[in-house]
Amino acid sequence: MSVLVTGSRGRVASALIGLLDAAGVKVTAASKNPVDLSPPPGVATVRCDLTDPSTFDTALTGVDAVFLYAEAAHAGTFADRARAAGVEHVVLLSSSSVLAPDADGNAIAASHLAAERALSAVAATGAFEATYLQPGAFASNALQWSWALRDGRAPALPYPHAYGDPIHERDIAEAALAVLTEPRLRGSSYVLTGPESLDFTEQLAILAEVTGRPAPHTVPTPEEWKESVAGFMPETFADALLSYWAAHDGRPTPLTGTVEELTGHPARTFAAWVGDHAAAFRP
């Protein structure tokens, strides 16, 4: 089997490449800028820009399976080119946000949903099998606080008691390894969560405990927070985040045991993730 891993600079994809290589699976690391990649020795690289369909055919040559990031712009075209290349299985890294009632109207969820629908439309023709990984909150989202905490400042949390289900990127990668290498797992959707439902204040408390450094926060109004991020975040995405946090304010996130079902071990805790990334939060 030969697997193409797109978005190989990403944390999940880079972990998956290492896992596939260690398992003896032929893997090619794909990226918009492959010269920036540092895959394991012997792992080939190829240019595949998911916003540029002209790069698809070369990347897909000789490929049996694909790990695909949810870039909606040309997902349908990618699926068509995968069919033409004889790909047998596509695993899409989607999001559990697609399951929300307002997914079509939420900028973040809508892009994942569009990618799922585009892939499903081609898979329904019998071209290949499609599998959907739908993780909730990435534990790595906490890295957005790292710059402030390193400098002794307090991150701004308009909804400090919004809950999430932080999942370690390694668990997502191991789930992807399972569905790529176990034929019986193909063709389904899997909602992946971490083992704990934690609000932002609880996550910060864990950060403080593991790193041994203070992890305070401030509570701006949603309007103040939106204004503070206007210089680097599109308004639609800011609105989507505020809507998500408001919907989860004081409401613990339902958890699944899917990570353990796929990987054979319980999902890693947020404290374990912080331990693996503690240096990012220290001066």
Sequence ranges of the domains in the chain: 2-135
pTM of the predicted protein model: 0.96
Tell me the pLDDT tens digit for each residue of 211-262: 999 999 999 999 999 999 999 999 999 999 999 999 999 999 999 999 999 9
Q: What is the pLDDT of residue 106?
A: 87
DSSP three-state, residue 141: helix
DSSP three-state, residue 265: coil
Tell me the pLDDT tens digit for each residue of 264-277: 999 999 999 999 99
Q: How many whole angstroms separate alpha carbon 108 and alpha carbon 239?
A: 10
Q: Which residue has the tokens 């585009």?
A: 118
With 90 as the cut, is the pLDDT of residue 108 above it? no
Q: What is the pLDDT of residue 107?
A: 87
Tell me the pLDDT tens digit for each residue of 44-100: 999 999 999 999 999 999 999 999 999 999 999 999 999 999 999 999 999 999 999
- Length of the chain (residues): 283
Superfamily of domain 2-135, CATH level 4? NAD(P)-binding Rossmann-like Domain (3.40.50.720)
Q: Which residue has the tokens 């260690």?
A: 22
Confidence of residue 102 (pLDDT cuts 50, 70, 90): confident
Tell me the pLDDT tens digit for each residue of 124-136: 999 999 999 999 9
H/E stretch holding 190 = strand 189-192
- Looking from the CA of 177 toward its CB, the CA atoms found within 13 Å total 24
Confidence of residue 153 (pLDDT cuts 50, 70, 90): very high
Phi, psi of 184 (to 5 degrees): -65, -15
H/E stretch holding 67 = strand 65-69
The whole-number average pLDDT for the span 129-154 is 96
Are 101 and 94 in contact by the 8 Å Cβ rule? The answer is: no
Q: What is the pLDDT of residue 115?
A: 97
Q: What is the pLDDT of residue 253?
A: 96
Q: How many whole angstroms separate alpha carbon 60 and alpha carbon 5?
A: 10
Q: Name which of 113, 106, 93, 215 is nearest 154 in CA terms.
A: 215
With 90 as the cut, is the pLDDT of residue 5 above it? yes
Tell me the pLDDT tens digit for each residue of 160-216: 999 999 999 999 999 999 999 999 999 999 999 999 999 999 999 999 999 999 999
248 contacts: CB under 8 Å, gap ≥ 6: 159, 162, 163, 164
